[in-house]
Structure 1
Amino acid sequence: MSLVQLMMQSQRASSRGKVLLTGGSGFIASHILDQLVDQGFNVVVTVRSEEKGQRIVDTYQGAAKENVSYVVVEDITKEGAFDAAVKSQPPFDYVIHTASPYHLNPQDPVKDFLDPAIKGTTGILHSINAHAPTVNRVVFTSSSAAILNPKQHADVYDETHWAPMTWDEALQPTNAYRASKIYAEQAAWKFVEVEQPGFDLATINNTYTFGPLQRHLSRLEAMNASNHRIRDLVQGKMKEALQPTAPVFTFVDVRDVAFAHVRALTVPEAGGSRFYVVGGHFSNKKIADVIRDAFPQLADRLPPRDAPDDFPEKVYRFDNAKSREVLGLEYTSFEKSVRDTVQSILDSGLLGSEVRN
């Protein structure tokens, strides 16, 4: 056995496996990365620039830093975009695909959402199938958007539900994000069905995701969209009137979402499954109440305690039994998720010093 082979064997023996994590600078991906590193995986993240990659690597210290590296994939919509990224020595055992666009003001539904989501997903699956034969499983970050039907809610949602969406509806800017999640996940399952690759697939369909900021966030404006409502309350933007909570009244903590991804990599029974990852119900009023009780120094930035709550009298329910039974999730409470999110905002130093204590 050559020296190179011995080194490769040693590296693989000292790790739980090697993971390619796409969209490495994203909110959910950052928490997945933390958990992968904590659990002894060797991780390569994809990023769109050298600067973003180095910023991620530099957030780790010591032995942990040695298990994190990056590869640049500038445009995930290009044919063969992931070909080079999936080639690695030692080779990859797993892939987690989180990369997916989100824009607050989409101008072109196809260019801004649909192409990156669908082509990015099918593109990486083709690349793995062609160039990474050692990959055992791919975990894909989908969304509750691929499950819920806002026009006619089910009484109880679970993994068997699919959101309806025609292509004409998908081309409407207000539907573009939801459509991108629906069509990308459908494309992933279709790929596995048709191509019969050497890996299997699991999808994580998480709902609105709260939780602590990623460590390399440079400004509060860049935080994940679900957390915006918590940020806006802390900044006093809802002091005069609460913004509507609709259309979604369910939440999950990002650390639970990350745990679901990591467990879905290695639990044998997870292969071939969707997982509806949802922790509970919420409203903006309920968020404000938690912040007021936990952070009295922020009370003057919040709406009055008797502000009306728009939580509906009859709200759709959810069945998350599959995620608990197969993946072993024990969901973080709403109160803890909100408290920890606010504390991370205060600790980040991005808000200002006047309310940090």
Structure 2
Amino acid sequence: MSETVIITGGTGYLGQHIIAELLKNEYKVVATARSQIAAMDLIKLFAHPYLQTEVVENYAEHGALDYVLKQHKEAKYFIASAAITDFSTVEPEELENKVLKQSNYLVENTLHSITKHGHQIERVIYTSSSSAMISPPELFSVNKHYIDDPEAWSNVPYEAGKHDRFMSYIVSKIEGEKLFAKHIKEQKPKFDLVSILPAFLTGPVVFQEEINLDKLPSTTKTVGDLLKLNKDSYVPELATGGVDVRDAAKAHVAVLNNPKASNQRLLVEAFKLTTPNILSIIKSDFPQYKDKLPTLEPMPESEFVPPNDSRSKEILGIEKYYTLRESIDDLVKQIVE
């Protein structure tokens, strides 16, 4: 019989890809959604007999996931992919209350519900970020070497998360992982933990009809915003490690039945990217943008310095990763079509 996986955050950009990968591998999936409408939309989009949904309006509310764990005693795995972000907030007090504290409540409540009502759960997979392992000087570069070290933590302090929207996301992932690790060490629950730390996500969405140039989820907006530029427009700077969202989803599924992954933090990075390199790919592969977008000299790939991530790659066992060109092309095709 197929094994059952509960996933939070299944309606999001990465979450939908994780569900698609789970169904492809014949897992039964219970996905949470924040409203009945979102839950029904997910059912209609996938139209798959192995997918069920449950509504959890507020993950940060104490006991919010109790019902889901009680209802699905058949579930063996739990993928904690839900995240709380608010990139519209700028005030320090709001960033702390709306993002940092709510993110901690989300993790604490997830742990409480699984520990109290999910005795059958054998493994929890937590969606973290490479930014929880790698500090900003190395994270926001393409030519600095860093090592995939499960004991390494980003040096972004908690206070930074109160003063910058993106830093609040990084801090929330650092805090979330540490809360999970503390729980495992002190409570010694029946389940073990695997943290997946993807780099900057690129690539297509699962359902093309869900997007257009003015409706782009998560980090796909970075590419969408580049498509809106004109010849003389200012080009936002971005230089970092990246991975196709489909490979990040594969990583979540690859660790479900993998003994080597137990209590590991796994970096998932496939390539380096910069905005000039992304623009160069778009202008080269989509003629309609050749004369419309700014012309910037892309950085030679020979100058990119990949991380020493052989440990994570060996554990994950993903044979082939999407390239930056494949990832960008597949997303832009969806947008322009």
TM-score by structure 2 length?
Answer: 0.90
> What is aligned with 2:331?
341
> What is aligned with 2:257?
266
1:205-244 aligned within 5 A: 205-215=197-207, 217=210, 220-236=213-229, 240-244=233-237
Q: Would you say the 8 A contact 1:100–1:116 is kept in 2? A: no
Aligned residues: 326
**Bigger CA drift: 198-207 or 160-169?**
160-169
Instruction: Determine the C-alpha separation between the residues in 1 that align with 2:311 and 2:189.
Output: 25
> What is aligned with 1:55?
41
> What is aligned with 1:83?
66
**Is 2:39 the counterpart of 1:46?**
no
CA deviation after TM superposition for structure 1 residue 89, in Å: 4.1
| SS at structure 1 position matched to 2:75 | coil
Instruction: Determine the C-alpha separation between the residues in 1 that align with 2:279 and 2:45.
Output: 31
| SS at structure 1 position matched to 2:253 | helix
CA deviation after TM superposition for structure 1 residue 186, in Å: 0.8
| SS at structure 2 position matched to 1:189 | helix
User: Would the alpha carbon gap of residues 237 and 217 (structure 1) be closer, same or farther in structure 2, given more than 3 Å must change?
Assistant: farther
Q: Letter of the aligned partner of 1:244 in structure 2?
A: E
CA deviation after TM superposition for structure 1 residue 234, in Å: 2.2
User: Would the alpha carbon gap of residues 74 and 325 (structure 1) be closer, same or farther in structure 2, given more than 3 Å must change?
Assistant: same
CA deviation after TM superposition for structure 1 residue 151, in Å: 4.8
| SS at structure 1 position matched to 2:184 | helix
CA deviation after TM superposition for structure 1 residue 39, in Å: 0.8
> Which has the greater radius of gyration?
1
Instruction: Determine the C-alpha separation between the residues in 1 that align with 2:83 and 2:24.
Output: 25
Instruction: Determine the C-alpha separation between the residues in 2 that align with 1:219 and 1:20.
Output: 29
1:109-128 aligned within 5 A: 109-128=95-114
> What is aligned with 1:100?
83
CA deviation after TM superposition for structure 1 residue 251, in Å: 0.7
CA deviation after TM superposition for structure 1 residue 173, in Å: 3.0
User: Would the alpha carbon gap of residues 220 and 110 (structure 1) be closer, same or farther in structure 2, given more than 3 Å must change?
Assistant: farther
| SS at structure 2 position matched to 1:251 | strand
| SS at structure 2 position matched to 1:177 | helix
> What is aligned with 2:161?
170
Runs (5+) with no aligned partner, structure 1: 1-12, 348-357
Q: Would you say the 8 A contact 2:278–2:328 is kept in 1? A: yes
**Is 2:174 the counterpart of 1:182?**
yes
Which residue, 321, 325, 333 being the options, matches 2:314? 325
Q: Would you say the 8 A contact 2:77–2:121 is kept in 1? A: yes
1:272-283 aligned within 5 A: 272-283=263-274
User: Would the alpha carbon gap of residues 224 and 60 (structure 1) be closer, same or farther in structure 2, given more than 3 Å must change?
Assistant: closer
Q: Would you say the 8 A contact 2:126–2:193 is kept in 1? A: yes
Instruction: Determine the C-alpha separation between the residues in 1 that align with 2:273 and 2:72.
Output: 45
CA deviation after TM superposition for structure 1 residue 128, in Å: 0.8
> What is aligned with 2:185?
193
Q: Would you say the 8 A contact 1:106–1:173 is kept in 2? A: no
Q: Letter of the aligned partner of 1:97 in structure 2?
A: A
User: Would the alpha carbon gap of residues 316 and 193 (structure 1) be closer, same or farther in structure 2, given more than 3 Å must change?
Assistant: farther
% of aligned pairs identical?
A: 27
Task: State the Cα RMSD in Å.
Answer: 2.2
Q: Would you say the 8 A contact 2:128–2:173 is kept in 1? A: yes
Instruction: Determine the C-alpha separation between the residues in 2 that align with 1:148 and 1:188.
Output: 19
